[in-house]
Each structure stands twice: as structure tokens, then as C-alpha cells.
């Protein structure tokens, strides 16, 4: 039964991690086309860093929760575009847009969504197994 609880904990931590991933992807997509007057002011894409954390009680490796180790800002340089009539253009007529690939972010979003859904399925199956175990225990 404790193994089933470990599955719940691992899946719950993965849900939290994938939720953080979806939030950063959303932020990246929302800011993909924002313009700034300098490279320093331009939005920089963000990426979640995951970490597998072995629980002290589970040193045998049966349950390894997923934790968000941090959110890293991209070191990709913003893209410079010549748009002299843009309200945010600098004195030379350039604006800076984030180096965020909408295609890559959409693929990342689909991957995170599928991972999230898979962990919901694991939790649902685990719940069903726990219920069956309790029902069998009540019959004996």
C-alpha cells in the first residue's frame, strides 16, 4: 500500500513540475513578439530546470519525486530588426525582439501537456488500485 502512496507522491510532484513548465511556455509565447528599444530591455525566454529528488525514506529508489530546481533565463541574444517607425525604435531605428521560437515553444507545450495527462492517468489508476485493495480488505 505504501508503494501506491509513493506513486501518488511522485505523480503529484510531476504534475506540479509540468504545471510550472506550462506556465513558462505560456509566458514565452505571450512575449514572443514583444519589442524593446535595447537588447537589455528585451524579454528573454525562460526554461524550467527539473531535478529528480530521492526522498530520505526511499533511498532504494522506489519513489523519486520531480522537483523544479529553478527557472533559467535564456542566454540567446535578442533579434535586432530595423523598424525606424516603431514607437520603441532606438535612435538608429532598431527594435529588439526576443529569441523565442514559437514552433519550439508549441512543441514544448504539447510535450508538457502530454506529460501532465499521463501523470493524471497514473494517479487515477493508482486511486482505482487503492480502492480495490480497500474493498478486498473489507471482504476478508
Cα–Cα dist 86/25, whole Å:
27
Cα–Cα dist 97/44, whole Å:
9
Q: Cell numbers 526576443 correspond to what residue?
A: 98
| Predicted pLDDT at 5 | 72
Cα–Cα dist 52/117, whole Å:
19
Reported confidence tier of residue 94, pLDDT bands at 50, 70, 90:
very high
Cα–Cα dist 47/21, whole Å:
7
More confident of the two residues 95 and 63: 95
Residues 6-56 pLDDT 10s: 777 888 888 999 999 999 999 999 999 999 999 999 999 999 998 876 655
Amino acid at each position: 500500500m505504501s508503494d501506491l502512496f509513493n506513486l501518488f507522491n511522485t505523480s503529484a510532484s510531476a504534475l506540479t513540475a509540468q504545471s510550472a513548465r506550462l506556465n513558462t511556455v505560456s509566458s514565452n509565447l505571450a512575449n514572443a513578439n514583444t519589442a524593446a528599444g535595447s537588447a537589455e530591455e528585451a524579454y528573454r525566454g525562460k526554461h524550467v530546470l527539473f531535478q529528480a529528488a530521492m526522498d530520505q525514506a526511499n533511498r532504494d529508489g522506489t519513489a523519486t519525486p520531480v522537483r523544479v530546481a529553478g527557472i533559467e533565463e535564456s542566454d540567446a541574444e535578442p533579434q535586432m530588426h530595423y523598424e525606424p517607425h516603431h514607437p520603441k525604435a532606438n535612435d538608429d531605428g532598431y527594435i529588439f525582439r526576443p529569441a523565442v521560437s514559437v514552433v519550439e515553444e508549441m512543441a514544448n507545450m504539447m510535450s508538457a501537456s502530454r506529460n501532465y495527462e499521463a501523470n493524471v492517468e497514473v494517479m487515477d489508476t493508482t486511486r482505482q488500485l487503492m480502492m480495490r485493495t480497500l474493498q478486498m480488505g473489507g471482504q476478508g
